[in-house]
Amino acid sequence: MGRSSSSPGPKGAILGGIEMSPQGSPLQMGEMTVQKPRIKVNRHCRDIPFLIFFFLFLVGMVVNSGFGWNRGNPRRLLYGLDYKGKLCEGDFDVKYWMNPNQVYDSGIIDNPFNIKDARAICLRSCPSPSANSSLAWVCDYPEGPIKLTKDQWADRHYDYFDLLSTGQKNTSLDLLGPCYPVLFNSSNFFWSCQLSASPSNVSLAQWKSLGGIDVNEGEVIVKAIQDVINAPGEILKRYIADLGNGWPVLVVCGGIAPFLLAIVWLIFIRIFAGAVTWISILVLNLGVVAVTIYFYIKAGWIGTDAISAIIGSDAVDALALETSRSMQNHLKIVAVAMTIVAVIIIIITLVLIKRVFIAVAVFKVAANAIGAIPSLVIFPIIPAVLLGLLFIYWLSTLLYLASAGEITQNVCNNGCCAYDLLAGNVTCGGCCGYEFHHTKNIGWSIFYHIFGGFWTAAFISACSLTVIAGAISSYYWVRGESALLATFPVLSSTKRLLRYSLGSMAIGSFLVACIQMVRFILEFIRKQIKLAEAAPGGCCITILCCCAQCCLGCIEWTLKFINRNAYIVIAIKGKGFFRAAAKASALIISNILRVGTVNILGDLILFLGKICVSITSAFFASLMLDQHRYKSGKDKVSSPLFPIVFTFFFAYAIASMFFGVVEMAIDTILLSYCIDCDENNGNARYAPPLLMDTLGRHARWEEERASRRRG
């Protein structure tokens, strides 16, 4: 059974551990020279310390999440606080500032009064001035001598002025409460009542006839409230809350839609693998040429004059002509750049046209492998579901962590006064407002949680890719003979992964998560600096952050490429992560021309497919968010931008899981071919016939070209 030191080697290919004759038939037991499975079975557990570290990190995530769930309340991100420090929620979820003079004072630059200390209450809807000759009032919460329930108070349109004593009415006319006149129109703007700049003439006349004090008016009132509503922190909190309100959109368009679209695409690529490859190459070349011609037309080098092309034929004044010349010069620069790009792409296509046949063959072999292992089509459902559950957990916990903290009263010295119904008189000095303050060091908890999301998502993706690589490699090493495959290749690959290689997955995913976290931090810094771009050096720092993002993006892409190939070596050989990465890198470098062409074409085709799925899902999300449900009421979305962007990227992640089957199949076949050549003196002995025939024709073409050069 074993091979002696004088054995000349195998007489034929080895299929799943069984040696074949040169004619393709199995050798008899006595004729075999070797019996060695190509996918290593006797393995050892790898990178155990890092697996333990990952497990402890996940335990820390659970503890961290428990803190957020215990101390947080996502409604704090969306709704305001009244003057008592209570959250505006439930039926009474709209914040209304009662005293217009306090709002006005807060908008004056030299006035120390802060709108956060202005007297505000929670209402069901924003009040409006009376349409008749009577004056409308909004009174404080009913308590003390006012024997009304909150619902009765709301049914009276918050007006119990007629129940007040004479003294209480007089303090109300001095804008001290408990009732305040409704002089300005207001509208619900992100659950805050935005006052208009000018009061109602009818209501103002009524107010003055009752002896009310002067009321300030002007754009200052509008700006004061807008500054609160449009503060960067408030916008960010609304965006985060939008994800919670629009969760059905994220589930349908970010999960179900890309799932169905990706399966349809996999079936399509299985049937039309060769056609899709050539069509993608043709579309790329024609697209680049078309864009180049478009810029030639707009630059005035083809067709009509650039002036009419850009600003219309009616623009003939000197300023318009000067502007057109400037735009024309810009477009000429772009046209020249596109010409260079188009020429390079066309030359590369012509030079590598022979290698494109190898890419097509690899693509077809990958499609055949997927067809031979049908479970690969539905396997991505498992990581997709896991990613979906992770996203739900991650997002919900992030909402609670972002809202974890306490509501405390501000420290102020504004000397304001207001009527206290319980005390029965006007009290001064105790009308400081309330604010939500994050728990100390909550930023580190959020940082930990975000990094944990990146790491866990990368870990799930790494496990998925390794399972796929194990199944596809088993197809390669039996020369594409489906009958010789194991009964459940995906299950066998999964068992090997869970038993031996989870530590390696933890290392690879950790490296990716580190790069992603650094990019996230840089983007956060850039956003913060953008707010202060007017400051000296702000623009330069922003440019540096963008350059750093570009470099880190390239590093991340390279790292993911190395990781993917390392996972293939792990699936075949069972090595540790770093040894597998070194082996894979050496093989890729020594076969760069073979690997490079196929990878570029494969990545292009798959990228176009991912973008199509993501854009379609985002389009469906925009249609759903256009419904009345998300335009008003409790589920109102402040802006569709954030949910649509999240849908796009989540759909891209789901599509990547399914498209990763084809992508990993291509990479696995390529790297298996490289391993095959490396272990057999440069000659692949186990490649499927389709790939062998294509490579054979290509080798003969290379030999003929070399002989012509020598001749």
Provide the token pair at 499.
Answer: 């038993």
Q: For residue 341, what are the CA distances in angstroms to 283, 291, 347, 524, 608?
A: 15, 11, 10, 33, 19
Residue 137: alpha-carbon gap to chain centroid:
47
Q: Calculate the alpha carbon distances from 196 to 96, 126, 209, 350, 649 in Å.
A: 13, 12, 22, 66, 39
CB atoms within 10 A of CB 91: 13
Least confident of 118-132, 500-514, 537-551: 537-551
- Whether the per-residue pLDDT at 18 is higher than 70: the answer is no
Q: Which residues contact 547 (CB under 8 A, 6 or more apart)?
A: none
Contact call for residues 496 and 470 (beta carbons, < 8 A): yes
Instruction: Quickly state the pLDDT bin for 9 (edges 50, 70, 90).
Output: very low
What is the DSSP track for 40-65?
Answer: --S-----HHHHHHHHHHHHHHHHHH
Which residue from 387, 474, 364, 339 is spatially nearest to 652, judged by alpha carbons?
387
What digits encode the pLDDT tens for the residues 101-150? 877 777 777 767 777 778 888 998 888 888 777 888 899 899 888 888 98
pLDDT at 244: 65
CB 122 within 8 A of CB 92: yes
Residue 509 confidence (pLDDT):
93
- Rounded Cα gap, residues 325 and 306, in angstroms: 8
C-alpha span between 493 and 570 (Å, rounded)? 11
Task: List the structure tokens of 185.
Answer: 């129109």
- Residue 663 has φ and ψ, to the nearest 5°, of -60, -45
The mean per-residue pLDDT over the stretch 669-696 comes to: 77
User: For the chain, first and last CA: distance in Å?
Assistant: 49
Phi-psi group of 537: left, alpha or beta (phi > 0 → left; psi -120 to 50 → alpha; rest → beta): left
Q: Are 171 and 426 in contact (CB under 8 A)?
A: yes
Q: In the predicted model, what is the mean pLDDT of residues 566-587?
A: 90
The whole-angstrom separation of Cα 163 and Cα 172 is: 12
At which residue do the structure tokens 């393709």 appear?
24
Nearest by Cα to 403 from 255, 282, 237: 237
pLDDT, mean of residues 267-293: 74
User: Cis ω on the peptide bond leading into residue 178 (within 30° of 0)?
Assistant: yes
CA distance 606 to 563: 18
pLDDT at 45: 86
**Cα 315 to chain center, whole Å?**
43
User: Which of the residue ranges 71-75, 279-283, 449-453 has the most confident prediction, judged by mean pLDDT?
Assistant: 449-453
**495: nearest Cα among 511, 510, 476, 474:** 474
Secondary-structure breakdown of the chain: helix, strand, coil percentages, each rounded to the nearest 5: 65, 10, 30
Residue 355's pLDDT band (cuts 50, 70, 90): low
Structure tokens at 145: 């001598």
Residue 328 confidence (pLDDT): 62
Q: At what angle do helices 502-530 and 442-476 cross, to 10 degrees?
A: 130
In this predicted model, which residue has the larger pLDDT, 597 or 619? 619
Backbone angles phi, psi at 563, to 5 degrees: -60, -45
Say how far apart CA 240 and CA 479 lie, in whole Å: 52
Mean pLDDT of the chain: 76
pLDDT of residue 34: 41
| Local structure of 18: helix, strand or coil | strand
pLDDT for the residue 463:
93
Please tell me the distance from the alpha carbon of residue 337 to that of residue 292, in angstroms, as a whole number. 9
The SS3 call for residue 417 is: strand
Alpha carbon distances (Å) from 347 to 68, 276, 285, 344 = 57, 21, 10, 5
Q: Looking at residue 387, what is its pLDDT?
A: 85
Per DSSP, the three-state class of 651 is helix
> What value does the mean pLDDT take over residues 70-86?
80
Q: State yes or no: pLDDT of 659 exceeds 60.
A: yes
pLDDT at 534: 47
pLDDT in tens, 24-60: 444 443 443 443 446 767 778 888 999 999 999 999 9
> What is the mean predicted confidence (pLDDT) over 191-213?
80
Determine the Cα–Cα distance for residues 159 and 39; give it in Å rounded to an integer: 81
Give the burial string for 43-82 (b: 16+ CB within 10 Å, else e): eeebbeebbeebeebeeebeebbebbeebbbbbbbbbbbb
Highest mean pLDDT among 365-379, 553-567, 616-630, 650-664 belongs to 553-567
Written as six digits, the tokens of 149 are 């329930």
Is residue 643 pLDDT above 50, yes or no?
yes
pTM over 0.85: no
Q: Where are the domains of the chain?
A: 81-230, 272-351
Q: Longest C-alpha distance within the chain, in Å?
A: 118
pLDDT at 4: 36
% of the chain at pLDDT higher than 70 = 74
How sure is the predictor about 12, in pLDDT bands with cuts at 50, 70 and 90?
A: very low
Specify whether the CB–CB gap between 26 and 18 falls below 8 A.
yes
Instruction: Report d(CA 182, CA 130) in Å as an integer.
Output: 8
The pLDDT assigned to 455 comes to 94
Give the orientation angle of helix 502-530 with respect to helix 577-590, to 10 degrees.
80
Per-residue confidence band for 582, with pLDDT thresholds at 50, 70 and 90: very high
Candidate from 176-190, 251-265, 316-330, 418-432 with smallest mean pLDDT: 316-330
Of 19-28, 35-44, 421-430, 575-584, which one has max mean pLDDT? 575-584
